[in-house]
Amino acid sequence: VCECFAVGNAFSESTAVHRIAPDRYRGAIPAGWDIAGNANGGVLLAIAARALLDATGRADPVTVTCHYLAPGRPGDVTIDVTVIKSGKSFATANAAMVDAEGRPIVQVLGACGDLAGAAGPDVVTGSAPDLPDPEDCVVRKPSDAFEIPFNSRIEMRLHPDDAGFAEGAKSGRALVRGWFRLPDDEPIDTVALLLAVDSFPPTIFNLDLPVAWTPTVELTVHVRARPVAGWLRCVFGTRFLTGGFLEEDGEVWDASGRLVAQSRQLALVPRAS
Amino acid sequence: VCECFAVGNAFSESTAVHRIAPDRYRGAIPAGWDIAGNANGGVLLAIAARALLDATGRADPVTVTCHYLAPGRPGDVTIDVTVIKSGKSFATANAAMVDAEGRPIVQVLGACGDLAGAAGPDVVTGSAPDLPDPEDCVVRKPSDAFEIPFNSRIEMRLHPDDAGFAEGAKSGRALVRGWFRLPDDEPIDTVALLLAVDSFPPTIFNLDLPVAWTPTVELTVHVRARPVAGWLRCVFGTRFLTGGFLEEDGEVWDASGRLVAQSRQLALVPRAS
């Protein structure tokens, strides 16, 4: 399906983009990164973010907002970047991803910068989630209802208290905690953090609701620091499920105990079928 | 300064836009809605949101993300809207606001819809902030350091425990709670919620840091419901001030006890001068 360049297995290869014209990029939604046929939303955002970074000449996606417009099926995509302002600290730009038929897949607005020199006072009242060691956490099993090829592309270990939903043992709390890393020791850069925040099962799988999926309307990620090597500690929670909407708030912490990303998405609760 | 139409005192008039071409709007950054000369960020977002709503033909800004690119000074602005997708539930569009010299002021990406028929299961674990009655709360006094004409455009009452910072009695917690409404019983629609979430003093004024302002990089607002008439209960908190960045998370509750908006912004901690 992907004609313009070979797609490798690693995350960085699978989300690579090539400039084909000023501010126009070619990429591909990679096969095998899907949940029941549709690419994971973090993968789509990562592809768009790589185009944003290249076009703006910046190293890190500091704050990016992604609107999900159509499911991502494997195949070529084009990303058009519009740089709105290129300032001293940040470059702000839009990225519009369309598929081979020109159908909008995602639309991204982001500010890119350089987090290497980030400095300032630290006042932190939140803390990383308490997790059993990765070997004492739970590998998500394939669902009976649908296939999740995506789960073989990442390494995810769920907190045992949050992992029973697949066997019908829902915790009753809209909370999912766990570990995340990339296979084969692939380094996690700040683009991979955009993947991490959208990799875990929906929080409301742990509520007593007949919900099989929660389509994301919008996802915003604040990348707060470049992670050190090692497992990431992740926590996702929902406090307000109202009127057919829910927010899902995420935090990602690196092995040094530093908060490296915060995320919030607005998702929909589909009517029970 | 504002040549194209008269600007009234009310919020709705002050943030009105007129269509001057397909997908192009004229508005004005109104005088008197500023903090030390720069328009409040919620006002800028509201102007852009009105253009988004008109261009998309939708009633409510369901999720909007605003990047702040330059301070807003009173005067005419042009807003160009690009509709990316017009779907059944949502219309997704960009709005680019530039001043009379063509300088970018804000860039907005939003999904607009209709919240009148929002329905679904309710699972809520958060709760509205406990506040003394409005008459027992604190009206923010003018600062000795700079003028805040904006504060005469809204009605805001701060929780007494969070209001001492102006007199040097910082609470030590990055938390600001209070009431919000518009003067003269002006109704609060879902665009006015975009104002409410950016109207309160920065949370970190209550920390022991030499910070006089916190420029916003990006603000995302999820409008969750249309508010009923009456005072809004608001709470803003910061848990992570790191590397020169902080998030500010907001919740707005209406008089019926319903969550009507959630907000998060990424702001900067300027180096002490």
Q: How many Å lie between the alpha carbon of A232 and the closest alpha carbon of chain B?
A: 17
Using DSSP's 3-state secondary structure scheme, residue B136 falls into: helix
- C-beta of residue A72 within 8 angstroms of C-beta of residue A35: no
Please tell me if residue B91 touches chain A, with a CB cutoff of 8 Å: no
Amino acid at A268: L
pTM, 2 dp: 0.96
Using DSSP's 3-state secondary structure scheme, residue B202 falls into: coil
Confidence label for B4 from pLDDT (cuts 50, 70 and 90): very low
Top residue of A245, A253, A254 to mutate, by most chain B CBs within 10 Å, is A245
pLDDT digits (tens, 9 = 90+) for B178-202: 999 999 999 999 999 999 999 999 9
Cβ within 8 Å of A, B 209-248: 209, 217-218, 220, 222, 224-225, 238-245, 247
**What is the rounded distance in angstroms from the CA atom of residue A218 to the CA atom of residue A106?**
10
- C-beta of residue B271 within 8 angstroms of C-beta of residue B209: no
| Residue A146 CB neighbours (<10 A) | 12
pLDDT digits (tens, 9 = 90+) for A5-34: 445 679 999 999 999 999 999 999 999 999
pLDDT at A94: 98
Closest CA to B137 of B125, B129, B148, B145: B129
For residues A78 and A167, the model is more confident at: A78
For residue B273, pLDDT over 90 is answered with: no
ipTM field: 0.95
Please tell me if residue A161 touches chain B, with a CB cutoff of 8 Å: no
Average pLDDT over residues A170-189: 96
Could you tell me the CA-to-CA distances from A34 to A148, A149, B173, B180 in Å, in that order? 6, 6, 43, 44
Average pLDDT over residues B2-12: 63
Joined together, the tokens standing for residue A191 give 């683009």
List, in sequence order, the alpha helices (H) in A15-153.
Answer: 41-56
pLDDT at B168: 85
pLDDT at B1: 39
Closest CA to B190 of B117, B112, B266, B267: B112
For residue A85, pLDDT over 90 is answered with: yes
Residue B218: its chain A contacts at CB < 8 A? 63, 65, 111, 220, 222
For residue B272, pLDDT over 70 is answered with: no
With CB atoms and an 8 Å threshold, state whether A262 touches B240.
yes
Share of chain B above pLDDT 70, in %: 95
Q: How many Å lie between the alpha carbon of A123 and the closest alpha carbon of chain B?
A: 5
pLDDT digits (tens, 9 = 90+) for A87-96: 999 999 999 9
**What is the rounded distance in angstroms from the CA atom of residue B54 to the CA atom of residue B49?**
9
Which chain A residue shows the shortest CA-CA distance from B242? A122
Cβ within 8 Å of B, A 16-55: none
Average pLDDT for chain B: 93
Residue B247: its chain A contacts at CB < 8 A? 222, 262
For residues B271 and A231, the model is more confident at: A231
Average pLDDT for chain A: 93
Average pLDDT over residues B29-52: 96
Which chain B residue shows the shortest CA-CA distance from A126? B239
Burial of A76 (0-12, 13-18, 19+ CB in 10 A): middle
Q: Count chain A–chain B contacts defined by CB atoms under 8 A.
A: 179
| Residue B122 CB neighbours (<10 A) | 11
Which residue has 């007199």 as its token pair? B167
pLDDT at A144: 64
